[in-house]
Structures are given as structure tokens and as C-alpha cells.
Chain A
């Protein structure tokens, strides 16, 4: 008869606690006592069953945690947006994504890590050496200008870095480069990955002696990002390597066409209203000869705000009783040079003419009317003042570049300006703002008609400037923009590059079942040019 004592011994055996003589005695009893042996067998099953039950319970716990974590991430995202955006903008944006969500594809959110498919073909960074305590202006081959103020870098402890540092920078401007650099191109909208189109992606890294540096929060880096995409509606996003998501930073408000705004600004008769910035000093002036500045005619209640370019402003000068004041205009920058004069002493400040919030809209209406009258064209109904200022600043920066650098520029007329508070990956992107009408159920074969097993397939969408990636489980419903210029590529299970010629993909139907014949490249491509050559 088995009793509690016997069960205790069996438990010790099952927990590997029987050693030496005790274990030998146990085994002898199992061999000699069939009832005990049967009980041991039963207890093994019970112990194993409890283990399986425990695993099921643990799995359930992990599933609950997974659900909680993903809902937390959604909550956090909404929280950050609510801080970053004004209410109006937030509603507009959320509504946009809601509406978009109704009509677009929901891809599985798996391509969320920067992962170049071929290590040797990753898009290279350009490395610049500079003195951290002096600052630098760096120009990249696309025309992008990176302005680094002095003392812009800190180490992990927050200590300002001095001496030589290495700045690494790269841009990814077309779908082939996005593919080779392995850039994720989905936006996570409350757990739903939505495909992004982009006006350009860039990445900045800073090192000192191989140690990664951060950016000094008091001296952020300014990037005037040269872009080939003029259309507005893109947002600045930064890639968060922890959550593996693109996070929205700001709207695309600073798009400038250098030729347009600088030319306008060079016309001395044009005065474009600016809104006052209350954190900056400004002063009001009364003219004896208003006709000297006919561009101010019809404008009321403007004052002069000290420009960002003015480094010598001394607030103490405001307490001096000046005998006279003169004004001159800098046609290159659009600034007004205001000179305060006393016998034996004078000071000049670079300023902009600005309006209080309450007067600004009136001034903007006046400007629009005057522009329309002068040019006969539709007036610009937007706040253009900062754009003019940016255009002037970029133009001035370009003056300092060498002839060779200028010649290298390929997209240097359209600029988007933003500041960088930490190194990393940034892009100007938006969710593809049209329905992805193409919907194919596909399988893949190689040129000999053999079934081709793929790690993933992708469409390089040249028109939207993006890459749409598909896992094998998504091959049943491969969605794409039928109005775009598309190219099909893939990575095989053994990590080779496969592709379809551009014209072959264009011949496919936009919906239904089809077998796609891919060519497997004899070797892995090593540059975006090689890919372009293969697919064309």
C-alpha cells in the first residue's frame, strides 16, 4: 500500500534529490516492487502533466503581457502626439490616418529594424573631421548643409567635448538605396503598419575616438536638407531604435525653393510680413521720411525685431536716449540695418520688420493683395516670412562652399530645414496618400521554372519613392500602387538577389493570381547602380 511517505520519496526522486545509497535503494525497490514501480510511473505522468499545465499557464501570462505591452505603446504614442502638436493639427492628423486606414493595406509589422540585406552593399557614410570647440559647416554631395555650432557635442555623462570629432552622415534618396540600407518604411499607426513614401532619409552619427557622442541640448545641429521632392505634406520623422518605430517630430513647414524666395527677396520693393517672436527684443520707429521705404506703405503697427544673425545685441543700449536713427536694407538677407546714432557713437543692429499676432493677418492680406496687383498671379496665402529667411541663410551658406562642392550638388534648390537634438535616422515622409489598388496573389519561380522560396519580396516604388516589403505570408495579397513606376525584387532563402525586369512587371495584371518569374542575380549586388542596371 502506497502512503504519504512513499510519495515523499518519489517526489525526491522526481526532483533529482535522491543521491548515493538512497537512490540505489530506490531503484532496487522499483525493480522488486511492481506496485511501487507502477506508482512511480503514475507520479512521473502526474509531474509531467503538471509541468505541461504550468507551461500553458505561463504562456497565457505571456500572451496577456504581450497584449498589455502593445496597448501601452499605442497609448504612449497618442500621449506624445498630444504634446507635440496643437489640437487642430492633432485632430487633422488623426483624422487623416483614420481615413487612410480605411482604404489601405495593413502589412504585418515585421520590417521594423534597420537591416541591410547585403553587408557589403550598405550605403556608406561620408566622414568629416572637425574641431568640436570651433563648430563647422558641412556640405554633403546632394546639396544638404549641416551647420554645427561650437560645443555641439557631449559625452555620455553630458560633458561638453572639445577637440577633434568625427561626424558621419549619409542620405538615402531613392528606393534602391532604401533597400540596400535596409531602412524600415512603415509608420506604426496604433499597431497598424502603414507604408510611407519619402522625400528623403538621412542619418547622422558623431564619434570621438570610436565613442558615440550625443548632441548638446543647448547647441543643436541645424540641417538644411536638400530634397528632390517639392510637394508639401511630408512630416519630419525620427527613427526610435528602442521601439523600432518612426516617430513624428514636426510638420513639413520649412520647404523653400531657393531661386523663388531669394529672387523675390532681392527685389527691394518687396516686403513680406513676419510675425513677431516674443522671446526676441524689438523696437518701434517713427519716420520723418516714410517715402524712403515705399514697401512699408499701407502697413501699420510694425516694429523691428533683432535678427538671429545679430550676435552683438546689447540690451543696455535700449536705455540710451539716441539723437537719431537710420535704416538701410540688406537685399541679400531681407534684414533691415537699424543704426542708432549719438554724437561720437553709433550702433547698428540687423533686424526684421514684424507684426504682433493681432496685426499679422491684416498685414498678410495687404501683402497678398499687393503681390496680386503687381504680378497678376495668385497670392501666396501662407506665412512665407520664415521661408524667406531660411532661403537667404542657405544661400549665404552656399556662398562659402567651394566650386567643386557646388558642382556636386544635384538637388540643391529645394530645402527642408530642421534641428537635430540627437544623432540618428531622420526622414521627411508621409503615409502613401492614395489607395493601393494593385492586389495580386503570387508565387515565384526562377528562370528555369523551378519554385523559388523567398525570405521576402519587395516592390521598389519609384513614383512614391519608397519600398514596400512583403513576407511570404503576404504573397497571397500583394498590394501596390498601380499608378506608380514599380519594380519587383526579392531576397531568396539562401540570401541571393532576385528581380524582374521593369518592363516585365509593367505587363502584369493589377489583380488576380499569377506566377512571377524572377531572375536570380549571379552575385549579390554591391551598389544601387548595380540594382538599377539589373532591373532596367
Chain B
């Protein structure tokens, strides 16, 4: 059944429930706004696509971690995050870092997005070993470490025997991953 996201709260709830339609809604509502912001500020369409994706990731992770507090509209929040991410990228590229806010005048929250682009070679390498794991291991580790779900919730979501079973499986998956990583 088609779900309508009539308020910012319903979108947040949709993301908490891992409802992919909430992501589609965000794309439908805000991708053009972010495109415009980036392209009118010396970015390309590819830059705009990247920034939009990164913005959604920032919001997604904040919602999943339970640290997301909506003090303004979701639109304003998305605009602020995109703007900060783009300023960071511009600084990296040493371009003109003064943005023209001609599209929308908003009170921009100063979000700390610098650590979003923080690079860690070991962690980047680890991604390659994670890809070598079986599908069920990938799912359990993603749900636990990225989505921050409890082992009990993972058991319910993946229809597994219970919390203890998930704990054991997770432990085995980690051992497998460690052995792959340490064999490098």
C-alpha cells in the first residue's frame, strides 16, 4: 500500500522503521533543492548528487543513533547539512568558500560535519573484507554496528531464534572477519 508522508515526523518514523519509501520521499522532495544549491555555487551535477547522498546519510545516521532533534523543518535541516558538507568540500578544493544563499534564506545551524569525511585507511580496507562475508553475516553486522539495533530487535527483524542466537552469530561473523583482516 502506498504510504503518504504528511509530516516531518512521519518521515523520521519511516527511517526509524527502515521504510525505504521514506528515503524515496526525501529524494522526491529535496533533491532538486540540494541540486540547485550546489550547482549555483560552482558545483557540478555530480557534486550535487554526491552531496545529496551524503546529506541523507548524515540524517539517516543521526536518526538511527537516536541523537536527532528536529528544531526546525526537515527542509531547513537538509539545506543546512548540504550547505555545510559543500562548504567542507569547497575548502578541501580551496575554491571560493563563500556560498550564495539566493535560493532560500534560512538560519543555518552550524553542524559538525567535518568528521563525516574523516578518512581512515584501515576502515576503508575493512570494507573489502566485509564484502567477502556471507549475506547473513553482513546483515547482522550492519544492523548491529550501523543501524544500532539491539540483538533482540535483530532477531525479530531477521526472524532468527532469539537474542542469544544473534549474539553467537555476530561473534562468529566477527571472528571470520578478523581472520580475513589479519591474514592480509
Binding site for B on A (CB under 8 A): 4, 7-8, 11, 14-15, 42-43, 45-59, 61-63, 65-66, 68-69, 108, 110, 112-113, 115, 119, 244, 453, 455-456, 471-473, 493-495
Whose C-beta in chain A lies nearest to the C-beta of B121? Answer: A45
The answer, among A7, A45, A53, A473, for a CB contact under 8 Å with B131, is A53
State whether A453 touches B42 (Cβ < 8 A): yes
Whose C-beta in chain A lies nearest to the C-beta of B27? Answer: A65
12 contacts across the A-B interface (CB closer than 8 A): A4-B167, A4-B168, A11-B144, A43-B174, A49-B124, A50-B145, A50-B146, A65-B27, A69-B24, A110-B36, A455-B100, A494-B96
Whose C-beta in chain A lies nearest to the C-beta of B124? Answer: A52
Whose C-beta in chain B lies nearest to the C-beta of A456? Answer: B40
Of residues 120 through 142 on chain B, the ones whose CB sits less than 8 Å from some CB of chain A are: 120, 122-127, 129-131, 138, 141-142
How far apart sit A26 and B94, CA to CA, in the bound complex (Å)? 42
State whether B45 touches A53 (Cβ < 8 A): no
Interface string of B161-173 (1 = CB under 8 A from A): 0000001100100
How far apart sit A57 and B131, CA to CA, in the bound complex (Å)? 11
Q: Does B56 reach chain A (CB closer than 8 Å)? A: yes
State whether B49 touches A66 (Cβ < 8 A): yes
Q: Does B63 reach chain A (CB closer than 8 Å)? A: no
Q: Does B32 reach chain A (CB closer than 8 Å)? A: yes
How far apart sit A531 and B144, CA to CA, in the bound complex (Å)? 61
Q: Which residues of A are found within 8 Å of B103, using beta-carbon distances?
A: 113, 115
Interface string of B21-62 (1 = CB under 8 A from A): 001100110011001100111101100010011001100100
The answer, among A49, A63, A455, A493, for a CB contact under 8 Å with B127, is A49
Q: Does B178 reach chain A (CB closer than 8 Å)? A: yes
Of residues 68 through 122 on chain B, the ones whose CB sits less than 8 Å from some CB of chain A are: 96, 98, 100, 102-103, 120, 122
Whose C-beta in chain A lies nearest to the C-beta of B38? Answer: A110
Interface string of B153-184 (1 = CB under 8 A from A): 00000000000000110010010011001000
State whether B174 touches A7 (Cβ < 8 A): yes
**CB contact under 8 A between A115 and B102, given known A48-B120, A62-B23, A66-B27:** yes
**CB contact under 8 A between A50 and B141, given known A15-B148, A113-B36, A495-B100:** yes
What is the predominant secondary structure among interface residues of chain B facing chain A? helix
Binding site for A on B (CB under 8 A): 20, 23-24, 27-28, 31-32, 35-36, 39-42, 44-45, 49, 52-53, 56-57, 60, 96, 98, 100, 102-103, 120, 122-127, 129-131, 138, 141-142, 144-148, 167-168, 171, 174, 177-178, 181
Whose C-beta in chain B lies nearest to the C-beta of A244? Answer: B32
Q: A50-B145, A63-B53 are in contact. List 20 more A-B contacts (CB 8 A).
A: A7-B174, A15-B148, A45-B120, A49-B123, A51-B123, A51-B145, A52-B124, A52-B127, A53-B131, A53-B138, A53-B142, A65-B23, A110-B39, A113-B32, A115-B40, A119-B102, A455-B41, A471-B44, A493-B42, A495-B102
State whether A47 touches B145 (Cβ < 8 A): yes
Q: Which residues of A are found within 8 Å of B32, using beta-carbon distances?
A: 112-113, 244
Q: Which residues of A are found within 8 Å of B49, using beta-carbon distances?
A: 66
How far apart sit A391 and B3, CA to CA, in the bound complex (Å)? 50
The answer, among B42, B96, B131, for a CB contact under 8 Å with A472, is B42
Number of A-B pairs, beta carbon distance below 8 Å:
124
**CB contact under 8 A between A49 and B126, given known A54-B146, A58-B56:** yes
State whether A58 touches B60 (Cβ < 8 A): yes
How far apart sit A277 and B23, CA to CA, in the bound complex (Å)? 50
Nearest Cβ in chain B — how far from A64, in angstroms?
9
Q: Which residues of A are found within 8 Å of B124, using beta-carbon distances?
A: 49, 52
State whether A46 touches B44 (Cβ < 8 A): no
The answer, among B24, B41, B120, B129, for a CB contact under 8 Å with A65, is B24
The answer, among A53, A69, A108, A113, for a CB contact under 8 Å with B130, is A53
State whether A59 touches B57 (Cβ < 8 A): yes
How far apart sit A473 and B45, CA to CA, in the bound complex (Å)? 9
**Residue of A47, A52, A113, A456 with highest tally of chain B CB at under 10 A:** A52
**Residue of A48, A56, A453 with highest tally of chain B CB at under 10 A:** A48
State whether A453 touches B141 (Cβ < 8 A): no
State whether A46 touches B142 (Cβ < 8 A): no
How far apart sit A119 and B102, CA to CA, in the bound complex (Å)? 9
**Residue of A15, A46, A56 with highest tally of chain B CB at under 10 A:** A46
Q: Which residues of B are found within 8 Å of A43, using beta-carbon distances?
A: 174
Whose C-beta in chain B lies nearest to the C-beta of A182? Answer: B102
Nearest Cβ in chain A — how far from B113, in angstroms?
14
State whether B24 touches A58 (Cβ < 8 A): no
State whether A51 touches B146 (Cβ < 8 A): yes
Q: Which residues of A are found within 8 Å of B174, using beta-carbon distances?
A: 7, 43, 46
Nearest Cβ in chain B — how far from A418, in angstroms?
28
**Residue of B56, B120, B127 with highest tally of chain A CB at under 10 A:** B127
State whether B123 touches A52 (Cβ < 8 A): yes
Q: Which residues of B are found within 8 Å of A56, using beta-carbon distances?
A: 127
State whether B146 touches A493 (Cβ < 8 A): no
Q: Which residues of A are found within 8 Å of B178, using beta-carbon distances?
A: 42, 46
State whether B145 touches A62 (Cβ < 8 A): no
How far apart sit A453 and B39, CA to CA, in the bound complex (Å)? 14
How far apart sit A471 and B47, CA to CA, in the bound complex (Å)? 13
State whether B123 touches A45 (Cβ < 8 A): yes
The 9 closest A-B pairs by CB, nearest first: A49-B126, A54-B146, A48-B123, A50-B145, A45-B122, A49-B123, A53-B130, A110-B39, A4-B171
State whether B44 touches A473 (Cβ < 8 A): yes
Q: Which residues of B are found within 8 Å of A62, using beta-carbon distances?
A: 23, 27, 52-53, 56
How far apart sit A495 and B41, CA to CA, in the bound complex (Å)? 10
Q: Which residues of A are found within 8 Å of B126, using beta-carbon distances?
A: 45-46, 48-50, 52-53
The answer, among A53, A55, A108, A244, for a CB contact under 8 Å with B57, is A55
Q: Which residues of A are found within 8 Å of B60, using beta-carbon distances?
A: 58
Nearest Cβ in chain A — how far from B1, in angstroms?
17
Whose C-beta in chain B lies nearest to the C-beta of A62? Answer: B53
Q: Which residues of B are found within 8 Å of A59, using beta-carbon distances?
A: 53, 57
Q: Which residues of A are found within 8 Å of B100, using beta-carbon distances?
A: 455, 495
Whose C-beta in chain A lies nearest to the C-beta of B142? Answer: A54
Q: Which residues of B are found within 8 Å of A66, using beta-carbon distances?
A: 27, 31, 49
Q: Which residues of A are found within 8 Å of B40, using beta-carbon distances?
A: 115, 455-456
The answer, among A7, A49, A54, A453, for a CB contact under 8 Å with B129, is A49
How far apart sit A527 and B62, CA to CA, in the bound complex (Å)? 46
Q: Which residues of A are found within 8 Å of B129, using beta-carbon distances?
A: 49
Q: Which residues of B are found within 8 Å of A471, using beta-carbon distances?
A: 39, 44-45
